[in-house]
Structure formats: structure tokens, C-alpha cells
Amino acid sequence: MPDLSGARGAPLVHAGEWLEALPPAARFILQCGPAARAAAGSAFGLPLPTSACRANSQGDRAALWLGPDEQLLLGPAEDAETLSAALEAALAGVAHSLVDIGHRQTSLQLSGRHASAILNSGCPLDLDLTAFPIGMCTRTLLGKAEIVLWRTGAAEFRLETGRSYSDYVSRWLLEAAQDFAAPG
């Protein structure tokens, strides 16, 4: 039996005209109260959102509001250890939970003029730009898979999903996209 204890391979993602796998990222779930939020934001390099279902981003870092006391922090994969150390130092002595989830999730980007309609093939949210504007994020379902959905542009979405669901989610989106393919 081969030794599989080393690094994991890339998750299976089926890319298409509107769908691409994003590079590995540092990912943390931070649970903390208001007192710790400012310290964490300072250590992370951008203010953490205080409004429900909103994301703040700057450069290659983003913080997504997932709940009143829960944030998803995203950064470059090569900065994972540095970010973890900076956050832990800033939050020392303050009640919090910081969990590195970089190994368990993967990111997809869906873009193009039909991105909302493609997502709505399996996502129950109203994704009209007026109902789900740029910068909005939330946990939701795509088919039977849990995802974090973040609108990063008028016709662009970032999806965070479990590595084990990446094949299912990417196949779902590519199948839905077939309805919008130009006749050949």
C-alpha cells in the first residue's frame, strides 16, 4: 500500500469556459467577540467586516462575515504560518478560536454573464445584483454541497467548498453551464 501521509494532491476540479480552480490559499475560521475583532483585523492587515454577510478585501487578503462572531479569513497559501502566528499573538489573552482550514477547502471562481443563472441551477438564493450585491457573502447550498458564496464582481463569484466536494460542485456547475453554451 502506498504511503499517503505526505502532501495531498490538488482536489479534482473540472474547469470550463466560466469555471476555474483558484490557487491554494491560507484559510482560517476565526470566532471571537467584538473586543477581539479589531485586534485580529490589525494583525490580519484589514478590518474584519461588522455587517452581516459582507466581505472586506484588500490585495490578496479577504475577511468574510459568516456569523455574528465568525469570520472566514483568506490569504496567500505561503503566508499561512505567518498569518497564524500574527493572529495568535494579537489575540493572546482574549477569548477566541482560530482554526486553520486551508487543508480542508478549495476555491472555485465562476464568472461570465450567465454566472448567476448557472449558480441558480442548484442554489436557492436570489442572486440578482440588487439582492446579492458585490461584496456579499454567505453560506448556502449548491445542490447537496455546502458552499461559501462570495460575489466578487457583477458577474463573478468565488465559491469555497470542502475538498471532497470539489468534483461534485465543479461537475454541477459545468452541467448547468451547458444550457448557456453557444450552439455549435
Q: Does the structure show a pLDDT above 80 at 2?
A: no
The pLDDT of residue 35 is 86
The architecture of the domain spanning 19-180 is 2-Layer Sandwich (3.30)
The pLDDT of residue 91 is 97
The pairing of strands 96-100 and 70-76 is unpaired
SS3 at position 85: helix
The pLDDT of residue 180 is 81
Q: Does the structure show a pLDDT above 70 at 65?
A: yes
The pLDDT of residue 13 is 55
What confidence category does residue 183 fall into, taking pLDDT thresholds of 50, 70 and 90?
low
SS3 at position 71: strand
Which grid cell sits at 53? Answer: 454577510
The pLDDT of residue 3 is 36
Q: Which helix (H) or strand (E) holds 136?
A: none
- Percent of the chain scoring above 90 in pLDDT: 85
pLDDT tens by residue, 93-143: 999 999 999 999 999 999 999 999 999 999 999 999 999 999 999 999 999
Those residues whose C-beta lies under 8 Å from the C-beta of residue 37, and which sit 6 or more positions away, are: 48, 50, 71
Query: Dihedrals φ, ψ of 177, to 5°?
Result: -65, -20
Query: Dihedrals φ, ψ of 85, to 5°?
Result: -65, -45
What confidence category does residue 156 fall into, taking pLDDT thresholds of 50, 70 and 90?
very high
Query: Dihedrals φ, ψ of 101, to 5°?
Result: -115, 20
Q: Does the structure show a pLDDT above 90 at 26?
A: yes
- The answer to whether the CB of 30 falls within 8 A of the CB of 71 is yes
The pLDDT of residue 16 is 64
Cell 449548491, located at residue: 142
- The answer to whether the CB of 163 falls within 8 A of the CB of 105 is yes
Q: Hey, where are the domains in the chain?
A: 19-180
The pLDDT of residue 182 is 59
Q: What is the mean pLDDT of the chain?
A: 91
Residue 169 to residue 11: CA distance in whole angstroms: 11
Q: Does the structure show a pLDDT above 80 at 17?
A: no
Q: Does the structure show a pLDDT above 90 at 75?
A: yes
